[in-house]
Structure 1
Amino acid sequence: MRVTNRFLLYVSIACVVADAFEPITTTVVVGLGVTLGRIIYNYSQESCDSKWVAFNATGLKVDLEQKLFGQHIASRIVLKALTGFMNNAQPKKPLVLSLHGSTGTGKNFVSQIIAENIYKEGMDSSFVHVFTSELHFPHASKIDTYKSQLQQWIKGNVTNCGRSMFIFDEMDKMHPGLIDSIKPYLEYYDKVDGVCYRKAIFIFLSNAGGESITQIALDFWRAGQDRQTIDLKDLEVPLSLSVFNNKQSGLWHTSLIDKNLVDYFVPFLPLEHKHIVQCALAEMEAKGMVKNHEVADQLARDLVYFPKAERVFSVKGCKTIESKLDYYT
């Protein structure tokens, strides 16, 4: 619990006042102490107002530029999507982002960056909700129960705070049809059963579509074209089709795609050696270590890359950098 200097001052004053009172009047001071305690608790308790929920566009831009490596397309889309949505006082529907790419390319990290630049408590905010398919929805036989629970959970939390954020991880492992249960909440309705969902944010994370993204990135590399020249238009259609037609994905033939309720399909490109080096250096800095380019380069070289002959892209991206860094330092 965080207590500001202002309230610490209040408490100090209360203590001084208490010393000045005769014993017979201490009940008054005790009452004052209880009141101050309530003020401090209420001030420190997270609430759905601008003290706790406020969009930091500059912070988001800086974080994406300085902390996310090799993802020029994703950075641009996320910044524009969030800025436009958060600055719109009356959005017509919730913001729905579907993040796609292979392991370790930054999907979860971007979700964290978004949360940190909207909620004072970041991912620890009581208004940020994370669902993991294999953990929260493990049994196909219980899909009807999951649908009902998911609807009630989202409705209850948006009722509590309209500016709630819901992150669905491992969408490629979710049972097909389950995510369609939240379709009414993503529509252009003013309210659903008396609740307005228009200011909520829904983020889907999935490895589905990663193969098509990788193939396009590899085609560009083999053609000698710079990675930075890959644009959203090169990826959006094949990505959405790949996800929609993937029978192993929670978005397979989903009405969310069919009805165009996903605002942005965000592609995450496979990472190259230079990006792994950047990840290693950033992790060193995060751990309070002195940056060592030689160590970062050696760590990056020792990872597995594909295609086997060309060794262009890291198989696991930056996913194992944190644990491997302990071995190299």
Structure 2
Amino acid sequence: MRLRCWLLFVVCIPWSLSVTEGVEPISTSIAVGMASAVTWFLVSYQNMFYSFSECCKSDWISYNKTGLKHDLQTKLFGQHIASQVILKAVTGFMNNKNPKKPLVLSLHGWTGTGKNFVSQLIAENIYHKGMSSSFVHLFTATAHFPHEVHIDTYKTQLQEWIRGNVSICARSVFVFDEMDKMHPGLIDGIKPYLDFYDNLNGVSYRQAIFIFLSNAGGENIVQVALNFWKDGKEREEIQLKDLETALSLAVFNNKNSGFWHTSLIDKNLVDFFVPFLPLEYKHVVQCGLAEMAAKGITRNEKAVEQMAHDLNYFPKEERVFSMQGCKVISSRLDFYI
């Protein structure tokens, strides 16, 4: 567990003065001057320390709504619903000085559609160090909780980790990847920290953010997108209401969802189920060009288009939606360049 960012100073000043009538005025002045100088030094040194070492302070934690809006509009492709929901949800929560509960977002969709990337964008617009911040905690089900026989141990360790880190910094973010592979008992283990409590054992979790990433419900999202395409409707016509209810029911009733019959859903602790639509060819090209720019590579649209063309799409004949999304762009791009 990371320790709180703080300094302990032990300063020993030899005081040869005593409060007696024999104390000379000039000696008293020197003593007062020394005390003031030491105080100034300690304050200055502490501020200098904070400027180099991350702390739970506004210098290191400051929400940038404009930055998040810009990132979602220019870096996240083909996700008009997710962009709108994420921006409103995070902004409303961060601007609320006294939230009733932590913000809980559940992001759903096929791999490569941008769920992990959105988590990164949120972190980068709250924390100076982004995902590298000591106040951002990422858990992956298969890596951190691989063995079902150890579920009780995992549950205890996870609860202690959340409690300890929120005690250090109330404005903490916890990202849980592969929620569809997480044991329901482990998910229920974090329920108390998501609920409407003032505090638990003296710790308030109301300023924390919990983000769940899952492939569960992806089939339902794809089917809605496919139906809109078959009906000749534009992708941008799909609204949250077209997906949210079906998505939450599918996740709750699917034994492979991770959320299956957990109290997170029936207690309404998830604030938003955010659907990520399957990406089309044009979105894959956009991802490729963005990746090329991020790597500092000279723009080469022909190479990116060829790479995007060679990926797998469905339906097989029409090749409308990418099966890999932007997941493999970074590694594939090197080959085509």
Common topology (TM > 0.5): yes
Tell me if 1:140 matches 2:168. no
Structure 1 unaligned residues grouped into runs of 5+: 1-31
Correspondent of 1:213 among 210, 221, 231: 221
Aligned-partner residue type, residue 59 of structure 2: K
2:313 maps to 1:305: yes
Task: Give the TM-score, by structure 1 length.
Answer: 0.88
Letter of the aligned partner of 1:114 in structure 2?
I
The Cα shift of 1:36 comes to 7.8
Match for 2:64: what amino acid?
A: N
Give me the whole-angstrom Cα distance separating, in 1, the residues matched to 2:151 and 2:312. Answer: 38
8 A contact 1:239–1:265 mirrored in 2? yes
Partner of 1:326: 334
Comparing 280-289 and 62-71, the one that deviates more? 280-289
**Mapping of 1:47-86 within 5 angstroms?**
47-86=55-94
Structure 2 SS opposite 1:177: helix
1:179-190 mapped onto 2 (5 Å cutoff): 179-190=187-198
Q: CA deviation at 1:176?
A: 2.1
Matched, 1:194 2:173: no
1:108 maps onto 2:133 in alignment: no
Match of 1:92 in 2: 100
Deviation at 1:41, TM superposition (A): 3.3
Q: Which one-letter code corresponds to 1:230 in the other structure?
A: I
Q: Paired residues, what number?
A: 298
Match of 1:41 in 2: 49
Letter in 1 for 2:84: R
Aligned to 1:19: none
Structure-2 separation of matches of 1:264 and 1:275: 24
1:291 Cα offset (Å): 1.6
Aligned partners of 2:88 and 2:238: how far apart in 1?
Answer: 18
**Contact map agreement 1:162 1:199 (CA 8 A) in 2:** yes
Q: How does 1:168-179 map to 2 (within 5 A)?
A: 168-179=176-187
Question: Paired residue for 1:121?
Answer: 129
Task: Name 1:296's counterpart in structure 2.
Answer: 304
SS at match of 1:103: coil
| SS at 2:190 equivalent | helix
1:175–1:249 Cα contact (<8 Å) kept: no
**Higher Cα Rg, which structure:** 2
Q: Secondary structure at the match of 1:178?
A: helix
Provide the rounded CA distance (Å) in 1 between the counterparts of 2:164 and 2:289: 42
Could you tell me how far apart the structure 1 residues matched to 2:180 and 2:266 are? 17
Q: Which amino acid aligns with 1:133?
A: A
Query: Distance in 2 between the 1:97 and 1:83 partners?
Result: 13
Counterpart pick for 1:245 among 228, 244, 253 = 253
Q: Which runs of 4+ in 1 moved over 6 A?
A: 32-38
Code of the residue aligned with 2:285 in structure 1: it is V
Partner of 1:27: none
Q: CA deviation at 1:39?
A: 5.5
Deviations 1:127-151 (A, max 9, x none): 0000000111001011111111111
TM, length-normalised to structure 2: 0.86
Q: Deviations over 1:7-43 (max 9, x none)?
A: xxxxxxxxxxxxxxxxxxxxxxxxx999987654343
SS of 1:240 mapped into structure 2: helix
Helix, strand or coil: the match of 1:47?
coil
Identical aligned residues as a percent:
67
Q: Which amino acid aligns with 2:77?
A: F
Q: Is 1:130 matched with 2:151?
A: no
Unpaired segments ≥5 residues, structure 2: 1-39
